[in-house]
Structure 1
Amino acid sequence: MRITRIGGPTALIEWEGWRILTDPTFDPPGRTYAFALGTTSRKITGPAIALADIGDVDLVLLSHHHHADNLDDAGRAGLGVARTVLTTVAGAKRLSATGAHGDARGLRAGDTVTLTAEGKPDLVVTATPCRHGAPLTRPIVGPVIGFSLAGVGAAHPALWMTGDTVMYRALRRVATGMHPDVALVHIGAVKFPLTGPLAYTMDADDAIELIELSEPGAAVPVHVEGWSHFSQQEEEASRVLAAAPGAVGERVRWAPLGEPIDLP
């Protein structure tokens, strides 16, 4: 598997002929975006690779459509590079209603879809649970999902994209014993001054627990730089993960922005 980290949550995954783009964010830096309840965030850095240089894409995995740090304006306009978009049910309805994509399919946690493409092995995608904040915040932050991807009949996923989530019971249950070849772990410890200490995504300590539970062959941190509302940026997260006990630190693979890395 080849992974190219582009910025924020955005990565290009190449596996068995499939070209998969996650949470497309391609706006230039400098703009401030509105989030829920009057919160805002500024995009600090732009994408390491321009959308025009990505090429054809088979599939976009969109954890949620309503936050600019997971789908910004250029990312939304560029969804057409992909044949299929998988996202939440609400996201698929919105993308279809606005004409952003003609094959946007909505999934709930636990739903599975099998994708086919000429010359490529069939791809089984299962939506995994996310909770984008503290209990009872879903009406404010909206629905989010992650994705596990596997070949037909495979014992374990080739890829797990966690999506934007905090640690909670359903996530722990799904993660335990998953053994994905590669996990894209969304961290960043999203916080806003308005809501004080409440976090809306995992931090590096949470990632350590998740890696211990899921035991991936490799864990690639994403969603950890480029935005002002990430309270734990890449430098701090890398220090925490480097000090992780046991085999966790050995599983973490940092992908330099814009440079593809090959994982077994």
Structure 2
Amino acid sequence: MKSFGKPPQGERLERLHELPMWDGERLRNIHPVLPGLRDPAAPRPTLRDFFCGDENRTPPAPLPARDPRSGWARKPASGLRATWLGHSTVLLEIDGFRVLTDPVWGQRASPFTLLGPRRFQPVPIGLRELPPIDAVVISHDHYDHLDYPTIRALAKSKVPFVTSLGVGAHLESWGIAPSRITELVWWQSHRVPGTGLTVTAAPSQHFSGRGLKDRNQTLWSSMVMAGDRHRVFFSGDTGLTTEYEAIRDRLGPFDLVMLEVGAFHPSWGDIHLGPANALAAHRLLGGGVLMPVHWGTFALATHAWDEPVEDLLKLADPLGVGLFLPRLGQPAEPAEHREVESWWRHGEPVGQRPAAEAEPEPALAERVRGQLPWPLD
């Protein structure tokens, strides 16, 4: 079970113990939860609900996708370009340098090969076909953001990693040399050597852990990537917090704001945004072009697969929010201000729809119940 990773030890653990968030046993969110975010009366979905959901949780056909290589061959005219590769994986081109966020090429957001949320469709391009990357940025250690097979593949390269404190223990255990890993605490910045890129970790309201025994033993963060001319905010996973005002004042303004909109549920509304709270977070961050991420790839809650983006469209239009919704694999520049195209409503039948998940065997379900955190992200 190498995919579970390794817990922080030694100097890493000592640094974690020094954080104001450390309560003597684990990290915790210290910012007060805003009223109304979590409904204490809403029952959490059971594992049966989660693993055996209805057909609306999966697209009827693979979503349309493009091969981004021809677009990447041309420099972005504005200096800033984003290519959404699924879920929270985005290739950012910022002032001549490339950053890859939360790279996940694995088939499941799970430590298991036969059980757990499965991709709706493949990543538009293989890892080996990516252009040279200047930095990989990882927000936290959940399976849909920190993927064992992807990290093992990237270990063969020389790309540096910038992540939240404690996550480096997983990376090292999977073959990333310590010299390639930089771990940040909130408000700490790192200039990527040989580039004009600066990565800064900032607050988020979430949790961490890849199993029941390592709950909140590593830090979770939002991330800001800045070049000489452009700044990009990436939420990672988070609930709504007024700390976004401090992020705006200290690290903004932002040319592109990437906010998670999927995997929401009333019972865990304090640790995920969902569409409505994503718009509230966008306002607190000072606006900027809004790119929704964390949707359209895995079924990580019980809502319909397209509910996050459809609700966002309904809520955002009256507010005049500048939504940025390029299709999978499409290199696009936020400065172009394109009209939103509802491309996800027209799935291209380029392959067979994945077979419905079978109900898990009792023994395997018990294994999952006894080893994984809940919710999964």
TM-score range, shorter chain: 0.7 to 0.9
Cα deviation 1:105-154 (Å, max 9, x = unaligned): 1001111112232xx5x222211111215xxxxx73552111112246x7
Equivalent in the alignment of 1:3? 82
| Structure showing greater relative contact order (alpha-carbon pairs closer than 8 Å, 6 or more residues apart) | 2
Equivalent in the alignment of 1:163? 236
- TM-aligned CA deviation for residue 248 of structure 1: 4.8
Equivalent in the alignment of 2:103? 24
- TM-aligned CA deviation for residue 43 of structure 1: 3.4
Runs of 5+ in structure 1 lacking a partner?
Answer: 134-138
In structure 2, the CA distance between the partners of 1:160 and 1:232, relative to structure 1 (3 Å rule), is farther
Q: Secondary structure at the match of 2:276?
A: helix
In structure 2, the CA distance between the partners of 1:180 and 1:263, relative to structure 1 (3 Å rule), is same
TM-score (norm 1): 0.80
- TM-aligned CA deviation for residue 62 of structure 1: 0.4
Runs of 5+ in structure 2 lacking a partner?
Answer: 1-79, 208-213, 336-377
Pairing of 1:84-233 with structure 2 (within 5 A): 84-101=160-177, 102-117=179-194, 120=195, 122-132=196-206, 140=215, 142-151=218-227, 158-175=231-248, 178-190=252-264, 197-199=267-269, 200-232=271-303
- Candidates 50, 56, 73, aligned match of 2:148: 73
Q: Secondary structure at the match of 1:244?
A: helix
Paired residue total: 245
Pairing of 1:34-53 with structure 2 (within 5 A): 34=111, 40-53=116-129
Identity of aligned residues (%): 23
- TM-aligned CA deviation for residue 245 of structure 1: 5.5
- TM-aligned CA deviation for residue 246 of structure 1: 7.4
- Whole-angstrom CA distance in 2 between matches of 1:198 and 1:22: 24
Structure of greater Rg: 2
Contact 1:203 1:232 in 2 (8 A): no
Equivalent in the alignment of 1:258? 329
Q: Secondary structure at the match of 2:117?
A: strand
- Whole-angstrom CA distance in 2 between matches of 1:32 and 1:262: 29
- Whole-angstrom CA distance in 2 between matches of 1:98 and 1:34: 14
In structure 2, the CA distance between the partners of 1:245 and 1:16, relative to structure 1 (3 Å rule), is closer
State the 4+ residue runs in structure 1 displaced beyond 6 angstroms. none
TM-score (norm 2): 0.58
Say whether 1:13 aligns with 2:89.
no
Contact 2:94 2:227 in 1 (8 A): no
